[in-house]
A and B are shown apart, each in its own frame.
Chain A
Amino acid sequence: MGSKLSIAFLVLAAFTTAAPAQDKSPNNANDIIARGEYLARAGDCTACHTAPEGRLFAGGRAMPTPFGTLYTSNITPDPDTGIGKWSADDFYKTMHSGRFPDGGLIYPAMPFASYTKVTRADSDAIYAYLRSIAPVSQKNKPHELRFPYDNRQLILGWRTLFFSEGEFKPDPKKSAEWNRGAYLVEGLGHCGMCHSPINALGGTSQSDAFKGGLIPMQNWYAPSLTSNREAGLGDWSIKDITDLLQTGVSMRGVVYGPMAEVVHNSLQYLNDEDTRAMAVYLKGIAEGSSPPPAATALPTTESSLLISLGKTVYDKHCASCHGTQGEGKPPHWPPLANNQSIEMQSAVNPIRMVLNGGYPPGTKGNPMPYGMPPFAGLLSDNEIAAVVSYIRTAWGNRGTPVSAREANELRSAPLN
């Protein structure tokens, strides 16, 4: 990988400094643009910087945060409203250091805390690609942040605590494939932006990387990628992991909610080698040991009543797809028995799944996914709690019962 990248960099340097008439390697320039397009997908720049029904890369997509709403920027090569006047150095400074060309601080909603790991050559390829797309004249929508968060100087504090600048350093003790996977997951993939605990300051710390956390505003739990009791993939086959990342469904489970978006907008476009590299890395970081499940807060008689009601609800509404023994008809109707994503300590995801239903993303590998109906209108809080308690504890699953109050609270979770 290394040598290929440095060649690409030399070619790009020639391309950007030489006058177009003297350029003798148009194919290589096109290769770099194509590579930049691929990397922009891997980093999900494309979807975040494009509004629904909006022009490609013209920005304006709303990002709700606990501090107010941010709007993504126009990164088309329009000189006045986009980044048409930026040099490759300016662009690298944004990716690597989280600063505007004039040194101004960028909000960490733009995932520069991960992109800082991206190599200069990859940054330059993305830059070359962004210069090749159609410029769109569209002014950036001003952010709507509450006082005092509208003051960009506050970002300094955040940076001191949570930002460590620096390109990815391969681990010489690991294989090239593992290192490629690590580069993608920690860098462009910005998986840690969701899969790490988010503290009160809206930051994720290095030591907690990939330990899982509740995504603020969205009320989805992004499971730990290191614990096998959550989304740690230690006992998954490489094929099941690559299926999940590339198509959104697998024999072990499916993606949904924000993770469906990641697969839809980004991961489905990665080639087989890169997907495999990510799978190898993800399987590698899973730790065997994990704390035992927390004891339930519900008294036993109450929870056994709940669970017998849960079985009734399950047999009536769920078994037709997920099977009487939770075996499902995978990959399209996922198994619920031995499915980590239901057994996790946080019951937010299975409760929301039952309330809202869902479709896995439509992908190249699974263009017409099967769906699950929402049950919010059909089942009471008590029935939802009962059926979720049942699937978390039946068939050898090791989750804990949930209460009607938890189910009720998630009825108002935002749906987008």
Chain B
Amino acid sequence: MFARAATPVAVIITLAAFDGAAAQTASQPPDTMAARVEACTPCHGNKGEGTSDVYFPRLAGKPAGYLYNQLLAFRSGRRKYPPMNYLLEFLPDPYLEAMAEYFAGQHPPLPQPAPSEVSKDVLALGEQLATSGDAGRNIPACVSCHGPGLAGMQPGIPGLLGLRAPYISAQLGAWRYGTRTAKSPDCMQQVAGHLTEADVTAVSAWLATRPAPANPAPVPKGTYALPFGCGSQPN
């Protein structure tokens, strides 16, 4: 009927994947996660490395627990981005877990840090907030949770490297305005609630200029204690 490349190999794969008689003549897509997430890769990159669009985040190497929490939040509509809310709507938990594991297990190199468009003073404020916080304004250091190397901690805290400033600032803004929430207690909401517009610009810009560390992998669970509790990081 159609011109098909029905090689013997394809037939064997088909037989293994299907018992329907009709399937024997058709070839099948590869039985891999890579083929199953082809709906995601135009936006997130083939290995989750991100794309040229600064609002499309890198997924590769982030803790699987963190990625899974995000997929659950997108599926229920609690975290909003309509194209993704739509794609995930009818996918079951174990499949979302498998997608999270898949991207957590990819290790393409981190991108070159972006040249910064903000002044030295702004970068200095960003560095100060990220590494020491501002006790007077109740702002904890970002590193106190995201780790001294900003590589995150298993299972629920993401690294903050390899992201572009517009994405980071959009996320912090979403927490401030309540359009992004995490499991309660939502510690990031408390953190972001204390940041001003200027703080957000500064810390986002500084984070985006960080060079890739030798080992960008998230540290194991329990490597350090958090300054206060986070619902997405069970202790």
Measured CB to CB, the residues of A under 8 A from B are 52-53, 239-240, 243, 251, 260-261, 264, 321, 323-333, 337, 356-362, 367-374, 376-378, 415-416
Which one, B18-26, B63-71, B132-140, is touching chain A? Answer: B18-26
The distance from the CB of B179 to the nearest CB of chain A, in whole angstroms, is 15
Most chain A CB within a 10 A radius of its CB, from B43, B76, B83: B83
Q: Given A337-B2, A373-B38, A378-B42, A332 and B29 touching (CB < 8 A)?
A: yes
Contact A368 B2 (CB under 8 A): no
Contact A369 B91 (CB under 8 A): yes
Contact A370 B29 (CB under 8 A): yes
Contact A356 B83 (CB under 8 A): yes
Mark each residue of chain B from 183 to 215: 1 if its CB lies under 8 Å from any CB of chain A, else 0.
000000000000000000000000000000000
> What residues of A have a CB within 8 angstroms of the CB of B90 in the complex?
260-261, 264, 359-362
Contact with A416, one of B22, B77, B92 (Cβ below 8 angstroms): B77
Q: Given A251-B20, A329-B29, A371-B87, A415 and B92 touching (CB < 8 A)?
A: no
Nearest CB in chain B to that of A338: its residue: B1
The distance from the CB of A314 to the nearest CB of chain B, in whole angstroms, is 15
> What residues of A have a CB within 8 angstroms of the CB of B95 in the complex?
362, 367-369
CB within 8 Å of A: which B47-81 residues: 76-78
A-B contact pairs, 27 of them (CB 8 A): A52-B76, A53-B76, A239-B22, A240-B22, A251-B23, A260-B89, A323-B2, A324-B3, A327-B2, A327-B3, A329-B29, A331-B23, A356-B83, A358-B87, A370-B38, A371-B38, A371-B39, A372-B39, A373-B38, A373-B41, A373-B42, A374-B39, A374-B83, A374-B86, A376-B83, A377-B43, A415-B83
> What residues of B have a CB within 8 angstroms of the CB of A53 in the complex?
76, 78
Contact A332 B4 (CB under 8 A): no
In the assembled complex, the Cα of A357 lies from the Cα of B35 at a distance in Å of 15
In the assembled complex, the Cα of A151 lies from the Cα of B87 at a distance in Å of 37
> What residues of B have a CB within 8 angstroms of the CB of A251 in the complex?
20, 22-23, 26
In the assembled complex, the Cα of A240 lies from the Cα of B26 at a distance in Å of 15
In the assembled complex, the Cα of A360 lies from the Cα of B38 at a distance in Å of 14
In the assembled complex, the Cα of A138 lies from the Cα of B18 at a distance in Å of 46
The distance from the CB of A217 to the nearest CB of chain B, in whole angstroms, is 15
Nearest CB in chain A to that of B14: its residue: A329
Mostly, the A contact residues are loop
The distance from the CB of A272 to the nearest CB of chain B, in whole angstroms, is 15
In the assembled complex, the Cα of A360 lies from the Cα of B36 at a distance in Å of 12
Contact with A356, one of B20, B86, B88 (Cβ below 8 angstroms): B86
> What residues of B have a CB within 8 angstroms of the CB of A239 in the complex?
20, 22
Q: Apart from A368-B98, A370-B29, list 19 A-B contacts with CB within 8 A.
A: A52-B78, A53-B76, A240-B22, A251-B20, A260-B90, A261-B89, A321-B29, A327-B2, A328-B26, A356-B83, A362-B90, A362-B95, A367-B95, A370-B35, A370-B38, A373-B39, A374-B42, A374-B87, A377-B43
> What residues of A have a CB within 8 angstroms of the CB of B37 in the complex?
371
Measured CB to CB, the residues of B under 8 A from A are 1-4, 20, 22-23, 26-29, 35-43, 76-78, 82-83, 85-92, 94-95, 98
Contact with B82, one of A243, A331, A357, A416 (Cβ below 8 angstroms): A416
> What residues of B have a CB within 8 angstroms of the CB of A52 in the complex?
76-78
Nearest CB in chain A to that of B2: its residue: A327
> What residues of B have a CB within 8 angstroms of the CB of A356 in the complex?
83, 86
In the assembled complex, the Cα of A415 lies from the Cα of B82 at a distance in Å of 6
In the assembled complex, the Cα of A416 lies from the Cα of B39 at a distance in Å of 18
Nearest CB in chain B to that of A378: its residue: B42
Contact A357 B39 (CB under 8 A): yes
Contact A325 B86 (CB under 8 A): no
In the assembled complex, the Cα of A331 lies from the Cα of B85 at a distance in Å of 24
The distance from the CB of A256 to the nearest CB of chain B, in whole angstroms, is 10
The distance from the CB of A121 to the nearest CB of chain B, in whole angstroms, is 31
> What residues of B have a CB within 8 angstroms of the CB of A373 in the complex?
38-43
> What residues of A have a CB within 8 angstroms of the CB of B91 in the complex?
359, 361-362, 369
In the assembled complex, the Cα of A26 lies from the Cα of B223 at a distance in Å of 54
Most chain B CB within a 10 A radius of its CB, from A53, A359, A377: A359
> What residues of A have a CB within 8 angstroms of the CB of B39 in the complex?
357-359, 370-374
In the assembled complex, the Cα of A373 lies from the Cα of B56 at a distance in Å of 14
Q: Given A323-B2, A370-B35, A329 and B40 touching (CB < 8 A)?
A: no
In the assembled complex, the Cα of A168 lies from the Cα of B26 at a distance in Å of 42
The distance from the CB of B40 to the nearest CB of chain A, in whole angstroms, is 7
In the assembled complex, the Cα of A357 lies from the Cα of B86 at a distance in Å of 9
Nearest CB in chain B to that of A364: its residue: B92
Contact A327 B20 (CB under 8 A): no
In the assembled complex, the Cα of A261 lies from the Cα of B1 at a distance in Å of 33
The distance from the CB of B5 to the nearest CB of chain A, in whole angstroms, is 10
In the assembled complex, the Cα of A357 lies from the Cα of B85 at a distance in Å of 12
In the assembled complex, the Cα of A316 lies from the Cα of B42 at a distance in Å of 14
In the assembled complex, the Cα of A296 lies from the Cα of B84 at a distance in Å of 34
In the assembled complex, the Cα of A243 lies from the Cα of B95 at a distance in Å of 20
Contact A368 B27 (CB under 8 A): no
Contact B28 A329 (CB under 8 A): yes
The distance from the CB of A352 to the nearest CB of chain B, in whole angstroms, is 10
